[in-house]
Structures are given as structure tokens and as C-alpha cells.
Amino acid sequence: MAAQTSYSINQGVALAGQLYALAPHDIVSRKVETVAGIEFGVAVSRGTDKNTQCVLGAADFIGITVRDVAREGSASGDIKYAETETAGVLRNGYLWVTCPSGATAGAAVKCNSSTGVIDAGTAGAGETQLDGAVWDTTTAAGEVGVIRLNSLQVTAGS
């Protein structure tokens, strides 16, 4: 395993799925059921076993995946939860998430109902509104920003 020997002056502020703030966080553990695995900082739902498993997407939303800082990347460089591994799922608290289209502080939070990708705005077809969440920071498109997840209430997009 190679070690990093130099650091850029302009390192990113955070990575998707990292916890933000020294505030209370409600995090549960769930076994990943999605065959392709699950990235950090995306919406997940209850799996086949509703008490112990999770799948990608927001069909039965239970939270957002938390980054595991002890995890090593695969041979291809991917760092994510693999099928059958235990994922941390944030149900309440602050989390860094990648925002594809950008957001302003206070903006509504939505996600793609099948991929779990989180974004700002009002949910449309194929999306789910995370009613209990809000963007806590102004975030440029494609960058990470902070969301505050207060509850697991959701509304299907139209």
C-alpha cells in the first residue's frame, strides 16, 4: 500500500458522506443489499429485511449513507459499501453531500428515487422530496455542501 508523501495547498473542504459539526447525530447500521454497492452520501431505503438491510434509492427512505473513514479503495479506486457490508446510515444530523446542480442555504433537498443521488430543489417525476432536510450551506454545482436532516418524512415527486 502506497503512502501519500505530498499534499496540495488546495485540498477539498470535505468528502461526501462525512459528518459535519459537533452536534448530535442519529446513525444506524444496515446491511447493504444492493449488488453494485452503495456510495457515501446518498439516500437509502429499507431492504428485503426491513429491520436490518438497506438498498439504494428512496422507495422507503431511512436515511443517507455515512462515509467510513477506515475503508480502503478497491483495485479500481472505488470507495463504497459493497454488497453484504454494514453501512452507517444517518437518520438525523448534519452531513456533507455532493450537490449536482448547486444549492443556496435554506434550499429544499430532493433525491433521485432510484439512484439516491441528492440534489437541491423541488422533486419532479422519478424524484423524492426529503421534507425533513434542508441545505445548510450555499454550495456550487458539483461540490460538497452540508445538509441538515431533521426527520425521515418524504414526498414523492410529480
pLDDT, residue 156, reads 80
pLDDT, residue 8, reads 74
The ranges assigned to domains in the chain are 26-156
Q: Is 115 exposed, middle or buried (0-12, 13-18, 19+ CB in 10 A)?
A: middle
Residues 111 and 144: their CA atoms lie apart, in Å, by 15
Tell me the pTM: 0.89
pLDDT, residue 22, reads 86
Q: Is 84 exposed, middle or buried (0-12, 13-18, 19+ CB in 10 A)?
A: exposed
pLDDT, residue 3, reads 76
**Nine cell digits for residue 11:** 485540498
Q: Nearest CA to 152 among 93, 103, 88?
A: 93
**Nine cell digits for residue 36:** 453494485
Q: Nearest CA to 111 among 69, 54, 62?
A: 62
* The residue to which cell 441528492 is assigned: 118
CATH code, 26-156: 2.40.300
Residue type, 116: G
pLDDT in tens, the chain (158 residues): 677 787 777 777 888 999 998 889 999 999 999 999 999 999 999 999 999 999 999 989 999 999 998 877 777 767 899 999 999 999 999 999 999 999 999 999 999 999 999 999 999 999 999 999 999 999 999 999 999 999 888 888 65
